[in-house]
Amino acid sequence: MAFLELRDIEKHFKGTTALDGIRLDIEEGEFCVLLGPSGCGKSTLLNTIAGLVPQDRGSVVLNGRSMDGLTPRDRDVAMVFQNYALYPHMTVYKNLAFSLRLRKIPGSEINRRVRETAHLLGIENLLDRKPKALSGGQQQRVAMGRALVRRPALFLLDEPLSNLDARLRAKVRMELKGLHETVRGTFIYVTHDQVEAMTLGDKVVVMQEGRIHQVGTPDDIYMSPIDTFVARFVGSPEMNLLKGTLRWADGALFFEGPGFVMDLGRGDVGETPCEAFLGMRPEDVFINAAEDPGLDGRIERITDIGPELHVDVRLGEASIVVRAPKKVRIQPGAACRIQANTDRLHLFLDGGKRMRRVP
C-alpha cells in the first residue's frame, strides 16, 4: 500500500495552464477518484503521478520518497488506460506475464501470480485466448490484471470503463469496488462520471480548469458542495441555483428571488442584505396542490424517466426542476404550490463560495 503527497504541482502546455498548484494527500489503501469535466486536468494529473508527463513545478512524493525525475518503470505504479492497451498478438496469459518477464521474475513465481490474478478477476478460462477473441468487459478485466499482477504500490486508472455499454459498466464498476476491498491497494481513478465517483470513491477530488475545488467523501461533496461549480456538477438533475437577495427580518432569514420570496427559517448570515444564490436539490423540493401552503408555481413540463418524474416548474420568473413520485397527479400548465425542505437548502455568495448559516 502507498501514501501519496502532491505538493504544489503545476503544468503548462503552450501558454495553457493544465495544473495550477495542486496540493493533495492520498492515504494508504484509499480509493481516490479525480472527478471533473473534460479538460479539467484530471488525466494530466494522473499522468504526472505516473511519470508520463513531467510537472513544471512541485513534487510527487510516494511513501516519503520523491518521484521527481524517475521514469514510470522506477515509480512502482501500474496504470490502466481507457483503451486497455493489450498486446494483440499475445494470449491473455502472456499479456499478464509480460511485465513480470521484463523484471526477470522466476517462471514459477510468474505462473503463480498470473493464475492467482486470473482467479481473482474470474478470467481463468480466458488465459489461452487473444484480445480479439474477448468482449469489452473481458478485455477490461485483463487490463486490470496486468496492473494487479505486478503488486505495485499505486494503481492508476484513467477512465477504464468508458468504452463499455451502460449495463456492463455498472456490473464492472461493482466488481472493481470489490476488487479494491480484496487487494486493499491504493487506487487513483479518473472519471467525468459522477455516478462512478460517488459509488467507487472513499475520497472524491472535484477539479475544474486545473484546480481542485473540493476534496471530501461522496457524502461531503453531495450534501455540502463548497461552491456553485461543485453544486451544479454533482447531482442529477443538477442543483437548482437561483440568484437573489438575502434579508433578515423579524428574527428570520428571507430569500428574495426573481418574483418570489422564500422564508428560510431562523439563521444568521448578517443583518445587511446581500446578493446570493439559493441552491435546492430537485429531491428537496415538493409539489403541492394549488390550495395547499407554499409558493405559487406552475407546471411547465413533465419528463417521465421510469421510476420517477422530473418536473419543470415556473417559480416567479425562474424555472426549477423537481423530482416527483409517479403517483403525483399533475398536468402541464396547472397551477401548484412549491415547498422546500429548509434544512436541506444551500446558500452561496454572489462569487460562488458556500455561505455558512448559523442557526
Task: Classify residue 59: in a domain, yes or no.
Answer: yes
In a domain, 355, yes or no: no
pTM of the predicted model as reported, rounded to 2 decimal places: 0.89
Which CATH number characterizes residue 111's domain?
3.40.50.300
Same structural domain, 48 and 125: yes
CB of 97 closer than 8 Å to CB of 110:
yes
Whether residue 214 sits in one domain with residue 72? yes
CA-nearest of 129, 119, 50, 122 to 86 is 129
Q: How many other β-carbons are positioned within 10 Å of the β-carbon of residue 223?
A: 12
Q: Tell me the one-letter amino acid at 182.
A: T
254 shares its domain with 222: no
Question: Same domain, yes or no, for 20 and 162?
Answer: yes
Percent composition of the chain: helix, strand, coil (DSSP 3-state, to 5): 30, 35, 35
Radius of gyration over every alpha carbon of the chain, rounded to an integer in angstroms: 25
The total domain count for the chain is 2
326 shares a domain with 265: yes
pLDDT at 323 over 50: yes
Cβ atoms of 270 and 342 within 8 Å: the answer is no
Which pLDDT score, from 0 to 100, does residue 270 have? 60
Give the mean model confidence (pLDDT) for residues 308-332: 93
pLDDT in tens, 174-213: 888 888 888 888 999 999 999 999 999 999 999 999 999 9
Q: Say if 357 falls within a structural domain.
A: no
What confidence tens digit (pLDDT) does each residue in 217-256 have? Answer: 999 999 999 999 999 999 999 999 999 999 888 778 899 9
Residue 246 lies in a domain: yes
| C-alpha cell at position 295 | 409558493
Average of per-residue pLDDT across 297-314: 95
pLDDT above 70 coverage of the chain, percent = 97
250: left (phi over 0), alpha (psi -120 to 50) or beta: left
Across residues 142-167, what is the average pLDDT?
87
Indicate whether 271 pLDDT > 80.
Answer: no
Which residues, other chains included, contact 27 with Cβ-Cβ below 8 Å and sequence gap of 6+?
A: 3, 186, 203
Predicted local distance difference test score (pLDDT) of residue 359: 44
Contact 348, 279 (CB under 8 A): yes
Same domain, 291 and 212: no
Residue 345 C-beta-side C-alpha neighbours within 13 Å = 24
- Expressed as residue numbers, the domain containing 303 is 240-349
Of the residues 191, 212, 233, which one is the last residue of a structural domain? 233
Question: For 287-301, how does the pLDDT look when each residue is reduced to its tens digit (9 = 90+)?
Answer: 998 888 899 999 999
Length of the chain: 359
Q: CA–CA separation, 210 vs 11, rounded Å? A: 9
Residue 272: predicted pLDDT = 67
Judge if 108 and 197 occupy the same domain: yes
Region at 271 (left for phi over 0; alpha for psi -120 to 50; beta for the rest): alpha
